Amino acid sequence: MIRAETAAATRQALLEAAAELLDQGGLEAVTLRAVGARAGVTRGAPYRHFPDKERLMIAVGAQAWDELGQQIGAVRRDPGLAPAAKLQALLAAFINVARRRPHLYRLMFSSPAGDPTAFARAAQPTQDESLQIVAALTGEQDARRYAALLLASADGIAGMELTGQLGGDKWRTTAEELIDTLVTMVADQTRAGR
C-alpha cells in the first residue's frame, strides 16, 4: 500500500473507531487516545489526522451526512417507488438514524463551537436530495416549505420516540403511523391546491 492509501486507511479506521465509541457512550466516551487504541494505531496517529476531538467529531458527522445522502439519493432514483412512498422512505431514513444511533443523530444536528456551520455544509447534498423528493409530490414552488415542515416533524417524532413518549398511554402511536399521516396530509394538501 502506498503512503496516501495507508494514511486514508488509518483515517477511516479512526473515524470508524470514533463512531463506535460515540454509539456506545456518547461524546464523553470519545477521546483521541481511546479512538487510537480502538483503531489499533500508535498513540500519536490520531493527532496526525485530527488536531482535536472537535475536528474528529466533525469528520464523523460529515461522513454520516454523506452516508444518509447516498441512501436518500438511492430512494429518489428508485423508479419503482411512487412519490409518496419516496417521501415516506425519506422521513423513515432520518428517524432510523435517530433510532439506531441517537448520539450520532444529535451530533449531526449540532453546531460545533469551532466551526458552527460544518454540519450545515455537510448536510447540503442530503438536503438537496430531500428537496427533490418533496418537490416530486408538492411541486417546486412549495417544496422548501413542505420539506422544512416534514423534516422538523421527523426530528420531533424521533425525539418523542427516543424518550418513549409515542407508545405511552398519552399518544398511543408509532413513528410509522405519524409518517403515514404526514405524507397523507401533504399529498392531500397539494392535490387540493392544484
Write out pLDDT tens, residues 143-188: 999 999 999 999 999 999 999 999 888 899 999 999 999 999 999 9
The full set of domain ranges for the chain reads 1-51, 60-193
pLDDT higher than threshold 80 for residue 79: yes
The predicted structure's pLDDT at residue 121: 97
80-94 average pLDDT score: 97
What is the fold, at CATH topology level, of the domain defined by 60-193? Tetracycline Repressor; domain 2 (1.10.357)
94-106 average pLDDT score: 97
Q: Can you read off the three cell numbers belonging to residue 148?
A: 422544512
What is the fold, at CATH topology level, of the domain defined by 1-51? Arc Repressor Mutant, subunit A (1.10.10)
Strand, helix or coil for residue 1: coil
Residues in the chain: 194
- Strands (DSSP E) contained in the chain are none
